[in-house]
Amino acid sequence: MDILFMIVCAVFVIGFLVFIHEGGHYLAARAFGVRVTEFMLGLPGPSIGFKRAGTRFGVTAVPLGGYAKVCGMEMGPVSDHAEAVLACVYERGTVSVDDVAAACAISADDAQDTLDQLVEWGSIEAPRKRDAQPLYRTPAEEPAAAQCREAARLCRPRPHGQEAGTPRAVPDPSALFQRESAQQYRSLPFWKRSVILLAGIAVNLIFAMVAFIVIYSVVGFDVTDPATGATSHVVVGADKAIYAGFSYIGMTVQAIVGLFNPATAAETVSNSTSVIGIAVMSADYFAAGVAEALFFMAVISVSLGLMNLIPIPPLDGGRFLIEIIQKVSRRQVPARVMGYLSLAGMALFVGFFVIMLNQDVQRFVFGNW
């Protein structure tokens, strides 16, 4: 029962904090008119959910973490055939790679690459597992909001939109392509892309600050006088709570910087913890009460947000650094370089994770740490 409680607490803490982090990316993207095709609680994989306003919301089979799929974040060059291929798919509704290659007079490889790019844009649907051969489709289209309001006013059933794979007239292929292009992350100016990248981190830090205010200025805390041993309950002003929050954020920044200092890296890693440690500690804090659980979530939220600020792809900070480099150099970082940087970053963090996981197993399972 204790193990089950520990797992539930860990899943709740990590799931909630990643959810609000990805929610920051989602809200910023939608505020700037960028399409978000998925908003999922959990790791990528089989999922259940519903679709609303072009976004599929749901829970995956492994509800630990989460992600928001912002369209147009793959920054390679736009295919020269994108406009023609998009119009071809819309006019036919359902197509194969060979259909597109023949209709647009391009090679099968070019057709495949262009179709994959349009899938990443959310402009068309990817092939389904049950397809006898890979088929690409026009996306399902929900009824316009005005139609729904009119139906509600007249007490009629909600109108049905167009199903995926429905052929649609394309009187102006250029206008269709421009409409789809405008809904991509890549079409935004530098400052808007930066807001989307940093919004998740900002939400994590805002949540932590609100939690510190609630803990110190609303719930209060007990203080023991070392001279008399008497305990008193103290509630401080919001300004002191905010100061305490910023102080903790500063200490976390110092700890993260310590990871990259050879003189302090070993000590910093030794004092860090993996998901096992988070699970064990979350159960202890939740068992201690609401205020303690909220404090623990604030601490983890700060760590999650600031760790994502590290300027190494594929973290948010790494993507932000790439945006700065592209802005200053006025040149796009090649996709191959991005791939190498992401692999190097993943290797670094996998290494840290393995070390911390071993520490936690020794510490919490065998008691040897």
Q: What angle do the packed helices 190-213 and 2-31 form, to 10 degrees?
A: 140
Beta strands 36-41 and 94-95, pairing class: unpaired
Q: pLDDT digit string (tens) for 76-87? A: 789 999 999 999
Q: Is the pLDDT of residue 236 over 80?
A: yes
Range(s) for CATH 1.10.10.10 in the chain? 82-182
Q: Which range, 26-30, 65-69, 359-363, has the best average confidence (pLDDT)?
A: 26-30
CA distance 310 to 73: 19
Q: State mean pLDDT over 241-259.
A: 89
Q: Where are the beta strands (DSSP E) in the chain?
A: 36-41, 47-52, 55-60, 66-70, 94-95, 136-137, 221-224, 231-234
82-182, CATH topology level: Arc Repressor Mutant, subunit A (1.10.10)
CA distance 86 to 102: 14
Q: Is the pLDDT of residue 147 over 70?
A: no
Confidence of residue 198 (pLDDT cuts 50, 70, 90): very high
Q: Which residues contact 43 (CB under 8 A, 6 or more apart)?
A: 60, 62, 64, 65
Q: State mean pLDDT over 347-364.
A: 73
Q: State mean pLDDT over 156-163.
A: 59
Q: Is the pLDDT of residue 64 over 60?
A: yes
* Residue type (1 letter), 104: C
Confidence of residue 364 (pLDDT cuts 50, 70, 90): low
**274 compared with 218, residue with greater pLDDT:** 218
CA distance 335 to 138: 27
Percent of the chain with pLDDT over 90: 48
Q: State mean pLDDT over 203-217.
A: 95
Which parts of 77-166 fold into alpha helices (H)? 82-92, 97-104, 108-120, 145-153
Confidence of residue 155 (pLDDT cuts 50, 70, 90): low
Among candidates 214, 211, 188, which has minimal Cα distance to 326? 188
CA distance 183 to 178: 9
The pLDDT, as a whole number, for residue 150 is: 46
Q: Which residues contact 336 (CB under 8 A, 6 or more apart)?
A: none
Confidence of residue 151 (pLDDT cuts 50, 70, 90): very low
User: 125 - beta bridge partners?
Assistant: 137
Whole-number average pLDDT of the chain: 86
